[in-house]
Amino acid sequence: MKTITIEINGKEIEARPGQTVLEVVEEHKLDTIPTLCHSPNLKPYASCFLCVVELEGKPNLVPSCATPVFPGMKVVTRNERIEKSRRTALELLLSNHYADCVSPCMEGCPAGVDVQGYLALANMGDFKKAADLIRETNPLPGICGRVCVRKCEVVCRRIDVDTSVAINDVKRYITDSPGVYDDDPVREPSRGQSVGIVGGGPAGLTAAWFLGKWGWDPVIYESLPKAGGMLRYGIPKYRLPWEEIDKEVDYIRRAGAEIKCGVEVGVDITLDDLMEQHGAVFLGPGAMEGKGMMVEGEKDTPGVVIGVDYLLEKADNPTPTEGTVIVIGGGNTAVDVARQAWRVGAEKVIVIYRRTRAQMPADPQEIEDMLEEGVQLLELVAPVGIVKKEDGSLKALKCIRMVLGEPDASGRRRPVPQEGSEFDLPCDWAMPSIGQMPFLTRLLKGSKHAPKVSRWSTFDIDTTTMKTSIDGLFAGGDAADDGPTVVIDAIADGQKAAKAIHAYLLGEEIPAKPFIVTKEFWERPGQKELGDIPESPRRKMHHISVADRVGNFNEVATGYEFEDMTHECDRCLSCGCLAFDWCDLRLYSEEYGADLGHYKGKVRKHKVDERHPYLVYDPNKCILCARCIRTCEKVLPISALGLINRGFKTEMRPAMNDPLVDTSCIACGNCIDACPTGAILPKFAYKSRAALAAKPEQSHCALCSIACPITVNTISEGGYYIGPSGVAGDYLCHDGRFCAELFIKSTRLVEPQKREGMVHSPLGHKEAYELAAKGLKTAVEQYGPESVAVFLYPDLSNEEMYLAGRLAREGLGTNNVGSIALLETGVCSGVLDSSFGFTASTADRSAIRDADLIICNNLDPQDELLILSMEIIDAVKDGGAQLIVTGSAKNSLDDVATLSLDPMRGRAALMWNGLIQRLIDEDFFARDAIAEMDGGEAFLADANPYDSSQMEMVTGVAAKKIEAAASMVAKAHKVVVIQSPDRSHDMAPGDVQVMANLALLLRNRGVRGDLILPSLAANGAGVEVSGADPVFQAGRVPVSNGIAGARSRKELLSMLKEGQIKAALILGEDPMATDRTASYFGAIEFLAAVDWAQTETTQFADVAIPGSTFLESEGSRCNFQGEVVSFNAAVETPSGVKSWEVLVGLAAELGLSVGPDFDAISAELDQTVRDNPKNALDLMWNTGQDRSWDGTGSLVVADVEAQAAPVLPAYSVTSRYRSEKLKVGLQHYRVGARI
Amino acid sequence: MSMILVGMSTCGMSAGAKDTYKSLEALVEGSDNELTFTGCIGMCFKEPLVEIREGERRTIYGHVDKKRAKEIYETHVVGGEELPDYIVYQEDGGKACGGSEQQFLERQERIVLRNCGLINPESLEQYENRGGYQATRKALLEISPEEIISELKDSGLRGRGGAGFPTGLKWSFCAGYESDVKYVVCNADEGDPGAFMDRSVLEGDPHAVLEGMIICGKAIGAAFGYIYCRAEYPLAIHRLQVAIADAVAKGYLGENIFGSGFSFDIKIKQGAGAFVCGEETALFASIEGERGMPRIRPPFPAEKGVFGKPTNNNNVETFANVPWIISNGGQAYRKYGTEKSPGTKVFALAGKIAKGGLAEVSMGRTIEDILFGIGGGIKEGREFKAVQMGGPSGGCIPADLKHTPVDFENIPKTGAIMGSGGMVVMDDRTCMVDMARFFLDFTQDESCGKCTFCRIGTLRMLETLERITRGEGEVEDTDMLAELGEQIKQASLCGLGQTAPNPVLSTMRYYMDEFLAHIKHKSCPAGSCQALVDFIIIEEKCTGCGVCAKDCPVDAISGIKKQPYIIDIEACVQCGKCMTSCAFDAIYTVGKKVAAS
C-alpha cells in the first residue's frame, strides 16, 4: 500500500492513508496520547479533547483521534500548551465528577486500609484474602480488630441511613478465622541491607513488616521482654489477649523481621552503633512515661501510682490490689486502669474526670463496660491535693468540683473549678492516668546522631517523609511530632516511614498518594441521597457476663457469629468505585497533575440507576464520551442509549429516558467495557462490591458455537466474573458475560451420590464409578449391548465426547451414542455430506463482512448468536450489504433487514426451493449449466411444482416478497447464508440441503456463495469428528459393521422411544426435566448421570457423579467456522474432579485403558482425526491448512415437503438458561446481590 | 384605483398588522381598491406599515392602527388627500420623495431585499412580474453548471452565514464529487439573539430562496434540497410551503423544470430550535433524524454531508443573492461592496438603536454610517457604547471603533466577527459584564454537550461572570476568564464552542475597567447589576407619593409627602422593590460609590 510521509515531533514517519494521527502515534509508539472518548473499536468521535495535538498551520489544537494524516503534515504531540489543555480538560471533567474513587472509610483510616475491599472478601467467605488485603496497609489487623478507635466508622456513610457498619468487628472476625496466619508472608528477595528499628510497638512493628516484605532486613530493638509496646504493656489482656499480639508479631517476624527483646538502645547499645550497623534507622520508642496530677506530694506518697506504670506492672503479674482505687482521667488508659484494678481485687474503684462522660475521650463501649463492672464515675471532679495518713501513706485525694465554661481550642467546654467545693475522697490508691510523654533521655544521651527534639520532647520530623534532622534517621509513632495518639496512627506512621526508608535506601522519590475524588469534596451525600436505603440495625458485639469477668483476664468481647459478620458486610454501601484501578479519568488526572478544585463550581448530582438486573449506571461518573452509546449502536439495530438535554445538563440516558431495563437493552454488557470511568458497571453473581484484585485467566465461552475468547476474572473461590478477551473488537453477549451467575448460583452437585428408592446418599468417586460400570454392564449382560446407550449434550468438549464414544463402543460394545437434543431435531448425521462431501461451514466469519447479500435462515442472530449479529449489522450499516432474514416469528434484525421473509413454520425449505426454481425459470441459473453439475439432472427433474400464487399459499410468504428476494440473490456478487443446523424452532426438513444447493448453484455461476452453520449447541460441530454419533466414530470414520446398536440418529431415537434402552449413561443432558423426553425413559432400569449441576436427571439417576463446567476444565471444542478452540480450567471445580477425569475413571472400571492424562487423550483424538483423510478436513479441524472451499459438490434433491418441527425443550442446564432468557425477558434474572 | 399593502411579516403582525388588515378589509370591501399584504420592508420600528400604491407613487404610512387605518383610507384613498404627518416614506417613479424616514430606505442598497415589502410573498405571479424565475430559466436552459459556478466566482459572493467562505468555490467542491445522490441544504436555522434577516427574507420573498437552491442544484448536480428552518418561524415555514406548492404547480420545482431535463425537489425540515443546528454538521445530523450534534470534519460536507452524500449548504441570504447574480452577472454584483467583500449585506438593527429594523447596505460602509445614518442613532438620545456583532459567537465593538468598515476583512480585526448580520446596539446603561454573561448563558444552554470545554468550560466562565456581577469577583477571575476562554476556543469541535468565549474576551479587551470596577470597587458603572448599584431618587420626577417608602422592606426610604423622597444608601439592600413600585420612573440606579479598596 502506498504510504505517506508525515512528521511527528520532528521525526519523519511513514503512515498509511486513512490512519489518524493517534493511530500513527500509537503504532509507532511515538508517545502515549491520553484519550477518554476514543476506542479503537469505534469511529472517531472527538468529544473529550484530551488527545489534542498541535498541527502546523492550524491555530487551534486538533483532536488526534479524529485527525486523518495527510502528506507533509507536521504534528507535535506534547508541549506545555498541549499538556495544559489536557490538564484543563481533565480538571473540567473532574469539576463535574461527583463520585467516590475510594470509600470514605478508606480515606478516613490513617493507614488507608481498604475497608470496602476486605468487607467484600469477608462477605464472600474468603477470610485469608481479606486478612491479606488488610495487611497490605496494616500488619496488625487482629490487634486493631480489638482496640482500634475506628476512625473508619466515624465517617461511614451508613450513619446517614442508620448506624455505621461494624467495620472493626468484622475485621476481628476475619483475623479470628482459621488459616489466616498459617502461611508465610510473601517476601521479596533480601536486598542485603538492614534497617534498625528502635521500639517494638505498633509503629516499629509496622515499619518492620513492610521493610521485611520489601526485602530489607529489619532489626527491632525492644527494651521490654516482649514486643508489642503499649499494645502489650498498656492495654490489659481482657481487652487484648497476648496470644493475639504474639500471633501478629510472629507473622511479622516471618516476613523477615528480627526482634531483639530486652535490648534498650542508649543502654545496651547506642544509637550511634545502630546508625553504623544499619542502612537506616527508625525511631519508634513510644511514649510510656505517664504524667502526674501536678499536685504536691504525689511523687513521694506510697499509694500514688502512675496509671501506665500500674498497667505495665500488672501486665504479666496480676497481683492483687486491695482497698479503694481512684483513677484520675477520662481516656482509654484511665478506663483500662480502673477495670484492671477491679479485676485484681480492688473493693471500690472510682474514676474521676474533670469534664462529663460525654466528653471522655475513651471508647464509649469501654466506658459502658466499665460501669457495668461496677466502677464508679465521678464527673466534673479534679484532684487538687493529697491527704496523707500519719505514716505518710495515702489517706485521701483532695478534689474540687468543676463546672463547664466556655469552649476551648479543642471545641470542648473548658472545666472551671468551683470555688469552695473542695472535698476529700478517701482512698488507698490514686492512679493518675491523664496522659503520657516520650522518655528520650537515655536513648539520646551522648549520641552523635541525636536528632532535633521538640519542646514536648518528641522527635521533630517532616511528617510527609518521616525524616528527622539526621540523614538516614527516621521517626514515628507516639514519640514523634504531636506525641501520643492511637494505635492506628502509629501504624500509619510505621507504614509511611517504611515507604520513606525504602525510597531512601533505593535513592528514589517517595511515591505520591494516588489521585482520588470523593463526594466530600463537594458535600457529604447525607440522608437525602441515601434515603431510599432501608434501615438495617447494626449487630452488637457479644460479651461475656460481668460475673465471668471477676478476678480474671478473660477477653470480654467474644467476637461475632458468622451471621453477624455477613449482616454487617451486607450493610456496607460499597461507596468506593469499582473502577479505581483502571478508571482512565483518575489515571490521567494523576499523570497530568490535575487539580480537583481548579474549576470547582456547580456539580450535577444524579441518582444511581440500579434498576437493571445486570448493570449499574452512575450518571455522576459519566463523562459523556458516548462510547457506550456508540457501542450499543453496534449491537442493536437501534441503540438503547442516547443523550438528552443540552449544555451542562447533557446526560447519557437510556432511550426515551426510560429505565434501561425497559428499553430494547439486551443486557449484553458491552457498554461496561466501553466505559472509561466506571459509570456503567456490572452486577456480580457473588455478594458484595469492591475494587478487588482479580486473577485473569484466558479461555473461551462454550454457550454457543462462536466460542468467543473470554477472560475469567477470579476474585476468590466462588467469586468470579467473565469479561471479553481484552483484544480490541472482541465483544461478548449477555450469556457469555453473565453466565457466571448460572454456575455460581445453581445448586452444584459436589459429590457423587447414589439413589435407593427416594433416598440419595453420597459415595466416593471410585465407588461411584464401580456402581455405574456395574449397572451398565449388568444391562449389557442381561439385554445385550444394543440395550445400553451413552447420551451427551453437544456442548461437551471434543475430549469428553471422544471418551464418551469410546466408552460406549469399546467399553460397552454398543454403537448407541449420541445426543438426545440432536436426535430430536431430526437432522441426520453428516447432513451435507451428500451435497459438499463434508458437513461444515464453507467459510469463516470474514465472509459476512465481505458479503453484499447476507441470508439468515432458521435463526434469530441477535437473540441466539449476538456476536455474529453484530458482524451482520456492521456489514449492513457500514458495508452496505443487503440482508434477508427468514423466520416465522419476528426477527430482532427486522429493523436492519432489507427484506424479512416469514414462511410458516417448517416451510422455509419449500420457500427457498421455490425461489431457486424461480431463478431457474428466469434463466438466472441456466438449465444446461445445471444439467452439467453433479446431480444436476436429477435436481432439474425434481422441479418445484408450485407457481407464484401457489407458493404464496403454501408458504404464507407474499409472492412479491419471494420475487424481491430472488432478484436480490440474482444481483448479488457475494452471498453468505447463515443457517443454524440444530435450531429446532422453524426447522424445515431439508432446508440445510436447499441452502447448500443455492450455494452450489451460485458458485457454478461464478458468484461467491457460502454457507455458515453456527450450531446453537457449543460443540455441535464437534460431535461427528469426536465420534459421539451413531454414524461416525472419532475422526468421522464411518462405523464398522461388527458392533451392536443403532446405525443412525433416527434409529437410536426410535429405540429410545420404544423403550429398548434399558440402561444409559447421560452426560450433561437433562431429559428428565421435560415430560416429552422423560417419557423415553419409562423402561430404563439403570441410569448413571454426570453433570455439574443438580438436575432432574441426576436426581433420578441411580448414580450421579459431579462433572465440571466449561470454565473448570481443559478441553477443546469446534467452533462454527471449523476451528478447534481450546479451553482452560480457569476456575476450580467444586468436586475436585473434572468431567473428563470422571470418564477416565468410568472407562477404567469398564476395563478400558484411556489417557492417562489430558494431553494424551487430546493428542490421541487429534491424531485420529488427522489420520483419517477426508474431504475438506481443514474446514473442520485445525490442520494447519488454509480454510477454503473449492465450491464443488453435488446438487441434492432435498425433501422439502412441509412439515413443522416441534418446538423442542432445552436439553441441558445451560441451554435452559439461554432459552429461558428469551422467553421471560431480563427481569426474571434479577441478581439477588445488593449493590 | 389604489393598491393597499399591509406589512405582514412577523414584525408587522406582532405590532398589530392583523387588526389593521382586518379593518382595511372591511373598508375596501365593495370598492375597486385592492388590498393585499407584503413582507417586511425593514422599518420594523414603524410597524404596522401600510402602503398606498397609486401607479408609480408609493406612500407608506407608519404606526397604522385600526383608527389610523380608517383615517388614511377615508382621507387618502377615498379623499385623495395625503396625511403627511403619518407618512414615513414616499416614492414616485422609483425616486424617494418624502416621509419622515426617507433616509432609512434611501441610504440602503437592496439586492437581497429587492422584493421585500414590494410584493405579496404568497403570490408567485407578483414574484414573476418582478423577473422571478428568469434566473432559473437562464441557469437551466442557457448556461452550463460550470458557467453558473464561474458566474458566482466572478461575483465574489461570500457565505452570508457568517464565515464568509466564497460561495462559488464551495459549489465547485461539491460539484467535483461524483455521486448518484447529492443534496442542497438551505440553512434557515437563524438562531443568534437579535438576528432576523433570514426570517424576513423567507417571509418577504420565499421564491428568491427557492430559486437560489434550484440554481445551486443544477450547478452541483443535486436533485434534492432541504430547507432546515426552525419551528419558531411558523410564518416563514408557511410562506415557504405556499411558495413550494406554487412553484411545483407551475413546474418550477419537480420533474424536468423548463423542459431542461433537470429535476429538483425541496423539502422543509423543521428544527426544534437548537442553536447548534446552525452548525452545518449538526444540522445534517438533525435532518437525518439524529440528535443535532456536530461531527468531525473531515470528511467535509462537500464529500459526505447529509446521509453521507455530497452536500452543499448555504444560508438563506446567500441563496437569495444567487438569482440576482445569475440574472445581472457577477460583475454587476461586484459594483457593490469592497474588493474582497463584494455585494451587499443585510443587517438586523436591534437593542438600544432608535430605528430597529432591517437594513441592506454595501459591504464596507462604516458602523457609524449604518447605526447613525440609517438606524438614527441611539434610543432616547443616550450615548452609544458598543455594538455586538456576530451573535453569541461574535464580539463587541466599542464606540471608539465606529469608523470601522463593516466587511469580512475589518470586523474580525476588532475581535468581533461579521456573523450573519445581527447588530445589537448598546448604550451607556448596558453593563458589559452582564452583556458577556448574557451571551455566555445563551451558549452554555445551547451547547450540544459533546465537547468537554464547551460543555463544562463555558459554565465555569459563566459562574465566574455571575460572581462578578454579584460583587463576589476576585482580581484573578479576569485571568481565569481569559485563560479558560482561550482554551475553550482552542479545543472545541465546532464553531459554537470555538467562538463561545468571544463575547467575554472581546468585552474584556475593551472594557477591562468595567470588569475591574465590578471586582475591585464592587460597583457596576452602567448601573445595571443590581447588587452593585445605588438606588437614587430623581428629585424632579418624584411626586412624593410615598409608595416606595411603604414598599421598602428595610425602611431605607424616607421623606415628606408631596416632596421628593430620599433613599438612605447605607440602609438600602438593593432589592429593587422601590423601582418596580414607583409609577413615575423616579428611581434610578447608578454604580455604587464605594471608595477604592
What residues of chain B lie within 8 A of the CB of A649, using their CB?
Answer: 449
Work out the angle between the directed axes of helices A991-1004 and A908-921 (0-180°, nearest 10): 20
Do B579 and B476 share a domain, yes or no? no
Q: Which residues of A125-152 are buried (b: 16+ CB within 10 A; e: fewer)?
A: bbbbbbbbbbbbbbbbbbbbbbbbbbbb
Query: Looking at residue A510, what DSSP letter applies?
Result: P
Do B458 and B371 share a domain, yes or no? no
* Three cell numbers, residue A863: 437473540
- Dist CA A804 CA A800 (whole Å): 6
Comparing A583-592, A629-638, B238-247, the range with the smallest average pLDDT is A629-638
Q: Which of A648, A657, A877 to mutate to test the interface with B (most CBs of B within 10 A)?
A: A648
Residue of B nearest to A94 (CA): B456
* Three cell numbers, residue B144: 452550463
The 3 state secondary structure assigned to A1084-1098 is CCEEEEEECECCHHH
Candidate from B276, B453, B460 with C-beta closest to A89:
B453
Range picked from A461-465, A1062-1066, A1205-1209, B417-421 for highest mean pLDDT = A1062-1066
The distance in angstroms from the start CA to the end CA of chain B is 74
Residue of B nearest to A626 (CA): B450
Amino acid at A662: D
pLDDT, residue A826, reads 83
Do B96 and B152 share a domain, yes or no? no
Share of chain B above pLDDT 90, in %: 88
Q: Are A46 and B296 in contact (CB < 8 Å)?
A: yes
In a domain, B376, yes or no: yes
| Whole-number Cα distances in Å, B229 to A647, A1167, B278, B444 | 22, 72, 10, 22
Q: Are A48 and B452 in contact (CB < 8 Å)?
A: yes
- Dist CA A135 CA A118 (whole Å): 10
pLDDT greater than 80 at residue B179:
yes
- Dist CA A312 CA B71 (whole Å): 113
Candidate from B450, B459, B491 with C-beta closest to A601:
B459
* Three cell numbers, residue A257: 523481621
Q: Are A61 and B492 in contact (CB < 8 Å)?
A: no
Q: Are A623 and B452 in contact (CB < 8 Å)?
A: yes
In a domain, B121, yes or no: no
- Dist CA A591 CA A571 (whole Å): 35
Domain carrying residue B134: 126-333
Do B384 and B418 share a domain, yes or no? yes
Reported as a pLDDT band with limits 50, 70 and 90, residue B595 is: very low
Strand partners for A1064: A789, A1087
pLDDT, residue A1231, reads 37
Q: Which of A20, A37, A38, A47 to mutate to test the interface with B (most CBs of B within 10 A)?
A: A47
Among candidate residues B375, B397, B427, the one where a domain is terminated: B427
Candidate from B449, B459, B490 with C-beta closest to A85:
B490
CB B7 within 8 A of CB B204: no
Do B423 and B436 share a domain, yes or no? no
Candidate from B449, B489, B493 with C-beta closest to A645:
B449
Reported as a pLDDT band with limits 50, 70 and 90, residue B1 is: confident
Reported as a pLDDT band with limits 50, 70 and 90, residue A321 is: confident
Residue of B nearest to A90 (CA): B452
Candidate from A44, A49, A601 with C-beta closest to B451:
A49
Interface ipTM: 0.91
In a domain, B580, yes or no: yes
Q: What is the pLDDT of residues A815-853, one digit of tens each?
A: 999 999 999 888 889 999 999 999 999 999 999 999 999
Q: In CATH, what number does A842-1012 get?
A: 3.40.228.10
Do B291 and B363 share a domain, yes or no? no
Q: Which one is predicted more confidently, A466 or A315?
A: A466
Q: Which one is predicted more confidently, B521 or A1040?
A: B521
CATH 3.50.50.60 boundaries in chain A: 194-288+438-506, 292-434
In a domain, B110, yes or no: no
Q: Are B456 and A49 in contact (CB < 8 Å)?
A: no
The distance in angstroms from the start CA to the end CA of chain A is 52
Reported as a pLDDT band with limits 50, 70 and 90, residue B273 is: confident
Q: Find, among A549, A559, A145, the residue nearest to A318 by Cα.
A: A549
For the segment A711-736, the average pLDDT, to the nearest whole number, is 93
In a domain, B74, yes or no: yes
Identify whether B48 is preceded by a cis peptide bond (ω within 30 of 0): yes
pLDDT, residue A943, reads 79
- The enclosing H or E element of A209 equals helix A202-213
pLDDT, residue A947, reads 82
What residues of chain A lie within 8 A of the CB of B449, using their CB?
Answer: 624, 643, 645-650
- Dist CA B403 CA B344 (whole Å): 18
Q: What is the pTM of this model?
A: 0.92
Å between A19 CA and nearest CA of chain B: 13
pLDDT greater than 80 at residue A1228:
no
pLDDT greater than 60 at residue A1224:
no
Q: In CATH, what number does A194-288+438-506 get?
A: 3.50.50.60
pLDDT greater than 90 at residue A655:
no
pLDDT greater than 90 at residue A411:
no
What residues of chain B lie within 8 A of the CB of A52, using their CB?
Answer: 490-491
pLDDT, residue A864, reads 86
Q: What is the pLDDT of residues B531-575, one digit of tens each?
A: 999 999 999 999 999 999 999 999 999 999 999 999 998 899 989
In a domain, B117, yes or no: no
Candidate from B276, B444, B491 with C-beta closest to A89:
B491
- Dist CA B89 CA B63 (whole Å): 12
User: CATH assignment of A104-182+536-571, given 3.40.50.2300, 1.10.3720.10, 3.30.70.20, 1.10.1060.10?
Assistant: 1.10.1060.10
User: CATH assignment of A753-828+1019-1172, given 2.70.98.50, 3.30.450.20, 1.10.10.60, 3.40.50.740?
Assistant: 3.40.50.740
Q: Which one is predicted more confidently, B2 or A475?
A: A475
CATH 1.10.1060.10 boundaries in chain A: 104-182+536-571
Q: What is the pLDDT of residues B183-192, one digit of tens each?
A: 999 999 998 8
Q: Are B449 and A601 in contact (CB < 8 Å)?
A: no
Residue of B nearest to A52 (CA): B491
For the segment B222-247, the average pLDDT, to the nearest whole number, is 96
Reported as a pLDDT band with limits 50, 70 and 90, residue A1204 is: low
Three-class DSSP category at A179: coil
CB A1064 within 8 A of CB A788: yes
What class has domain A4-78? alpha beta
pLDDT, residue B550, reads 92
For the segment A442-446, the average pLDDT, to the nearest whole number, is 90
- Dist CA A1153 CA A1140 (whole Å): 14
Reported as a pLDDT band with limits 50, 70 and 90, residue A664 is: confident
CATH 3.40.50.740 boundaries in chain A: 753-828+1019-1172
pLDDT, residue A1153, reads 87
Q: Find, among A173, A166, A165, A541, the residue nearest to A369 by Cα.
A: A541
Do B239 and B371 share a domain, yes or no? no
Q: Where are the beta strands (DSSP E) in B445-520?
A: none
Comparing A239-243, B269-273, B438-442, the range with the smallest average pLDDT is B269-273
pLDDT greater than 50 at residue A1229:
no
CATH 3.40.228.10 boundaries in chain A: 842-1012
CATH 3.50.50.60 fits A292-434, yes or no: yes
Q: Are B453 and A49 in contact (CB < 8 Å)?
A: yes
pLDDT, residue B167, reads 97
Do B148 and B90 share a domain, yes or no? no
Do B541 and B495 share a domain, yes or no? no
Q: Are B448 and A66 in contact (CB < 8 Å)?
A: no
For the segment B447-465, the average pLDDT, to the nearest whole number, is 96
Q: Are A63 and B293 in contact (CB < 8 Å)?
A: no
pLDDT, residue B280, reads 93
- The enclosing H or E element of B425 equals strand B422-427
For B177-245, the DSSP string reads S--S--EEEEEE---STT--HHHHHHHH-HHHHHHHHHHHHHHHT--EEEEEEETT-HHHHHHHHHHHH
Q: Are B453 and A84 in contact (CB < 8 Å)?
A: no
Q: What is the pLDDT of residues A250-295, one digit of tens each?
A: 999 999 999 999 999 999 999 999 999 999 999 999 998 999 888 8
What residues of chain A lie within 8 A of the CB of B458, using their CB?
Answer: 647-648
Residue of B nearest to A639 (CA): B290
pLDDT greater than 70 at residue A1202:
no
Reported as a pLDDT band with limits 50, 70 and 90, residue A1235 is: very low
Q: Are B447 and A623 in contact (CB < 8 Å)?
A: no
For the segment B331-339, the average pLDDT, to the nearest whole number, is 96
Reported as a pLDDT band with limits 50, 70 and 90, residue A1205 is: low
CB B442 within 8 A of CB B195: no
Q: What is the pLDDT of residues A172-223, one digit of tens each?
A: 999 999 999 999 999 999 999 999 999 999 999 999 999 999 999 999 999 9
Do B366 and B513 share a domain, yes or no? no
pLDDT greater than 90 at residue B227:
yes
Comparing A1134-1143, A1166-1175, B210-219, B237-246, the range with the smallest average pLDDT is A1166-1175
Neighbouring CB atoms inside 10 A of A653's CB total 22
What residues of chain A lie within 8 A of the CB of B502, using their CB?
Answer: none
CATH number of the structural domain spanning residue B226: 3.40.50.11540
Taking CB atoms within 8 Å and a gap of at least 24, the contacts of B254-257 are B257/B136, B257/B140, B257/B214
Share of chain A above pLDDT 70, in %: 98
- Dist CA B7 CA B42 (whole Å): 10
Candidate from A68, A93, A626 with C-beta closest to B456:
A93
> How buried is A587 (Cβ within 10 angstroms: 0-12 exposed, 13-18 middle, 19+ buried)?
middle
Neighbouring CB atoms inside 10 A of A59's CB total 9
Q: Which of B275, B288, B296, B463 to mutate to test the interface with A (most CBs of A within 10 A)?
A: B296
Do B296 and B178 share a domain, yes or no? yes
pLDDT greater than 80 at residue A759:
yes
Reported as a pLDDT band with limits 50, 70 and 90, residue A591 is: very high
pLDDT, residue B66, reads 94
Q: Are A648 and B451 in contact (CB < 8 Å)?
A: no
- Dist CA B412 CA B416 (whole Å): 5
Q: Are B457 and A49 in contact (CB < 8 Å)?
A: no
Residue of A nearest to B452 (CA): A48
In a domain, B120, yes or no: no
- Dist CA A396 CA A424 (whole Å): 6
Reported as a pLDDT band with limits 50, 70 and 90, residue A662 is: confident
CATH 3.10.20.740 boundaries in chain A: 4-78
What residues of chain A lie within 8 A of the CB of B296, using their CB?
Answer: 44-46, 63, 66
Among candidate residues B492, B520, B548, the one where a domain is terminated: B520
What residues of chain A lie within 8 A of the CB of B276, using their CB?
Answer: 646
CB A672 within 8 A of CB A615: yes
| Residues belonging to chain A with any Cβ–Cβ distance to chain B shorter than 8 Å | 44-50, 52, 59-61, 63, 66, 68, 84-85, 88-89, 92-93, 95-96, 599, 601-602, 623-624, 626, 642-643, 645-650
pLDDT, residue A1185, reads 80
Taking CB atoms within 8 Å and a gap of at least 24, the contacts of B138-147 are B138/B326, B138/B327, B139/B214, B139/B215, B139/B218, B139/B219, B139/B326, B140/B214, B140/B218, B140/B257, B140/B258, B140/B260, B140/B262, B141/B258, B141/B259, B141/B260, B143/B326, B145/B175, B145/B218, B145/B219, B145/B220, B145/B221
Reported as a pLDDT band with limits 50, 70 and 90, residue B19 is: very high
Amino acid at A987: M
CB B527 within 8 A of CB B544: no
CATH number of the structural domain spanning residue B570: 3.30.70.20
Helix intervals (H) in A1074-1183: 1075-1078, 1096-1100, 1139-1149, 1158-1170
Do B256 and B132 share a domain, yes or no? yes
How many domains are there within chain B? 5
Comparing A1-5, A133-137, A167-171, A785-789, the range with the smallest average pLDDT is A1-5
Candidate from A44, A52, A66 with C-beta closest to B491:
A52
Three-class DSSP category at A1067: strand
Residue of B nearest to A54 (CA): B490
CB A896 within 8 A of CB A873: yes
CATH number of the structural domain spanning residue B22: 3.40.30.10
Candidate from B296, B448, B459 with C-beta closest to A602:
B459
What residues of chain B lie within 8 A of the CB of A647, using their CB?
Answer: 444-447, 449, 455, 458-459
pLDDT, residue A78, reads 96
- Dist CA B319 CA B306 (whole Å): 18
CB A851 within 8 A of CB A875: yes
